[in-house]
C-alpha cells in the first residue's frame, strides 16, 4: 500500500493535486474537513461529539479526529493506499497516526509538501475568493494569519518526517499540469509496489 501525507499552505493547490494523485495511484483521499462533514451529516456518534466541540467554538480533540480516520481506513480495505490531506497537523497527531497504521501493518511512505511563495499564494487565494464567497479568502490579514499558523505547526512536523527520511518538497508554483507532473515524477521515483 502507498500512503502519503500532502502538506501545503492555504492556496497551494492541495485539493486539486489530491484529486490527480488519488486518481493516478488509486489512493483513497482523506480530507479531515470532508471527514468532519461526513460524520456530522450522518449524525454518527463521532460526528455528534465533534459538533458539540465545534458548537462551543472549541477545536475537536485529536482522539475524535483519529477515531474518524481509523474508521474511514477500516471501511475502505479495497484501497491501494491513502492520501491524507489536512492531517496530521501536530506531532501528537502524527504519532497517533503512525501508531494506528503500525497496528494494521501499514505506514506513511512519504510526506509531500507543496512549496509556493507566499506572495503567489495570496494572489491565488484572493482570486479564489472572488468566486468562493469565503470571507477569509478576501482578507489579506486573515490569509497571513492562516500562513502563520501553518508555519508554526508544520515546521515541527517537517522535522518529524525528515528525521524518518520521509519528507519531500515539491515546487508548487507554475501551472496545475506542471505541478502534477513534478508530483508524479517524485512518487514514481519511490519505486513502491
Q: pLDDT tens digits for 66-102?
A: 999 999 999 999 999 999 998 998 899 999 999 999 9
75 domain residue, yes or no: yes
pTM confidence score: 0.89
Q: What is the pLDDT of residue 30?
A: 96
User: Which residues are annotated as catalytic?
Assistant: 14, 89, 128, 134, 146
Question: What pLDDT was estimated at residue 134?
Answer: 74
Residue 22 to residue 44: CA distance in whole angstroms: 26
How many Å apart are CA 7 and CA 168, to the nearest integer? 10
pLDDT at site 52: 93
Give domain status of residue 190, yes or no: no
Phi then psi for residue 115, to 5 deg, are -100, 115
Q: Total structural domains in the chain?
A: 1
pLDDT in tens, 134-181: 777 788 888 888 888 888 877 789 999 999 999 999 999 999 999 999
Q: For residue 126, is it within any domain?
A: yes
Segment 178-190 shows an average pLDDT of: 96
CB-side neighbour CA atoms (13 Å) of 190:
20
**Helical ranges in 43-192 per DSSP H:** 45-55, 62-74, 91-103, 118-132, 140-163, 176-189
> How far, in Å, CA of 131 to CA of 36, rounded?
24
Determine the 3-state secondary structure of 110 from DSSP: strand
Asked if the model's pLDDT at residue 10 lies above 90, the reply is no
Whether residue 95 lies inside any domain: the answer is yes
Q: 70 lies in which domain range?
A: 2-184
Partners of 28 in the beta sheet? 82
The pLDDT score that the predictor gives to residue 102 is 96
The answer to the question of residue 191 being in a domain is no
> Does residue 193 lie within any of the structural domains?
no
Q: What is the largest CA-CA distance in the chain?
A: 46
Q: Is the peptide bond before 88 cis (omega within 30 degrees of 0)?
A: yes
CATH number of the domain to which 127 belongs: 3.40.50.300
With respect to residue 137, please indicate whether it lies within any of the assigned structural domains.
yes
The per-residue pLDDT for 85 is 92
Amino acid at each position: 500500500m502507498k500512503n502519503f501525507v500532502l502538506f501545503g499552505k492555504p492556496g497551494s493547490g492541495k485539493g486539486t493535486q489530491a484529486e490527480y494523485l488519488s486518481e493516478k495511484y488509486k489512493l483513497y483521499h482523506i480530507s479531515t474537513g470532508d471527514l468532519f462533514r461526513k460524520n456530522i451529516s450522518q449524525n454518527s456518534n463521532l460526528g455528534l461529539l465533534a459538533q458539540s466541540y465545534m458548537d462551543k467554538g472549541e477545536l475537536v480533540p485529536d482522539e475524535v479526529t483519529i477515531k474518524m480516520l481509523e474508521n474511514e481506513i477500516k471501511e475502505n480495505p479495497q484501497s491501494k493506499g491513502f492520501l491524507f490531506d489536512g492531517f496530521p497537523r501536530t506531532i501528537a497527531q502524527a504519532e497517533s497516526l503512525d501508531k494506528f497504521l503500525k497496528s494494521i501493518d501499514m505506514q506513511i511512505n512519504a510526506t509531500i509538501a507543496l512549496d509556493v511563495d507566499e506572495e503567489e499564494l495570496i494572489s491565488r487565494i484572493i482570486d479564489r475568493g472572488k468566486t468562493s464567497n469565503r470571507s477569509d479568502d478576501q482578507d489579506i490579514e486573515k490569509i497571513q494569519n492562516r500562513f502563520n499558523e501553518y508555519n508554526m505547526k508544520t515546521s515541527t512536523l517537517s522535522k518529524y518526517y525528515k528525521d524518518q527520511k520521509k519528507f519531500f518538497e515539491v515546487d508548487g508554483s507554475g501551472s496545475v499540469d506542471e505541478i502534477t507532473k513534478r508530483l508524479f515524477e517524485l512518487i514514481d521515483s519511490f519505486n513502491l509496489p
